[in-house]
Amino acid sequence: MERTNYSSGAKWEDIVGYSRAVKVGNMIEVTGTVAVDENSLLVGGDDAYAQTKFIIQKIEQVLQNAGSSLKDVVRTRMFVTDISRWEEYGKAHGEFFSSIKPCTSMIEVKGLIAPEYLIEIEATAIITA
């Protein structure tokens, strides 16, 4: 099966040794994604809903680059720094996935790579059509 790596161009990809997404056959894995723009600037500030929404839009973009879309997502994993804000994260997630209904997890973690990140999301997509 053919493997294609997709890069965001972030310097961290070469330092840490990862890809933004990897497509093998009809499966796409999207790496943990935080709310930073192409200039590595935080999007959404302390707004959990805004960060989540921006992250899912970033995931959607890389899926489109790989010939897929959010409708092909079968699993999301949300790593959050404050589980008490689950409704904010969940509201944004639901706006994108309410009709798709992938498997999902929301897991509270001690921290993410930078303290301003409230949530990090991974996604798995399988292209079926």
Q: Provide the domain count of the chain.
A: 1
pLDDT tens, 88-128?
A: 999 999 999 999 999 999 999 999 999 999 999 999 999 98
**pLDDT for residue 1:** 87
**pLDDT for residue 5:** 97
129: pLDDT strictly greater than 80: no
C-alpha closest to that of 67 among 6, 1, 123: 6
Give backbone dihedrals phi and psi of 112, rounded to 5 degrees, phi first.
-110, -175
Mean pLDDT of 8-21: 90
Amino acid letter, 99: S
Q: Which domain CATH number covers 56?
A: 3.30.1330.40
Domain interval for residue 86: 3-126
Mean pLDDT of 82-89: 98
**pLDDT for residue 56:** 98
Dist CA 111 CA 31 (whole Å): 17
